[in-house]
Amino acid sequence: MSRAGSLREPLAAAARTLAAAGLVRATSGNVSARDGDRVAVTPTGAVLAELTSEQVVVVGLDGAALEGEGRPTSELPLHLGVIERFGAGAVVHTHPPVGTALSLVIDELPCVHYEMHALGGAVRVAPYRTFGTPELAEGVLDALEGRSAALMANHGAITFGDDLAQAVERAHLLEWVCTLYWRAAAIGEPRALGADAMDAVRAQLHAKDYRSMLDMSG
């Protein structure tokens, strides 16, 4: 089994975790993880809540199928684009209830909580494009510049990280922040944190040596 082959079970487990949390439903959403020049990805058409390691597909960085019988997710070009452009170790694309709802309305999720330092600050909303197209991937990649998360207009959300655990945690964090913003906006105008406040957060993390939390600031 290749090194990326060893990612097949963790990848399936991540997909099941996202489904159990309600961030993906049925066959929507997809996950990838890189090991060297190979990438393990969820297959198209699979129910993520029941995904097994045998169903996970392994492709090369050029998208060529290497292991597994199914076809890779239709969003494979998006995943490979994030891996290539940002050096991501793992990519998580979800259709989360609140994040997707906000993507119908807002152009950017303001930086309303200091935990958003892990996402790179305010989260952009990429323009709507048909799923699985190069145009969608291009818009999302631009929205991710300097960030580790983006919303996708009338579609969903995407996060990436150094590894699966970090990318999945950021997917949970993004949906939590979206929920926070939605609740606050229902009762008033949410206050956003400015650049000075976020600089101070990063300085405090350095001072406290919270190395594992210095996701986007290094």
Chain position whose Cβ is nearest to Zn ion: 156
Cβ closest to Zn ion, residue 12 vs residue 151: 151
Helix H or strand E encompassing 62 = none
| Structure tokens belonging to residue 29 | 């959403």
With a CB cutoff of 8 Å and minimum separation 6, the contacts of 66 are 2, 4, 38, 58, 59, 60
Nearer to Zn ion (CB atom), residue 134 or residue 194: 134
CA-to-CA distance for 70 and 183, rounded, in angstroms?
40
Q: Is 54 a residue of the active site? A: no
Q: Which helix (H) or strand (E) segment is 213 a member of?
A: none
Catalytic hit among 9, 75, 175, 189: 75
CA separation for the pair 48, 27 (Å, rounded): 6
Min dist CB 24 to Zn ion, Å, is 9
Hey, which residues between 141 and 170 contact Zn ion (CB under 5 A)? Answer: 156
Q: Which residues are catalytic?
A: 75
What is the binding site for Zn ion (CB under 5 A)?
Answer: 156
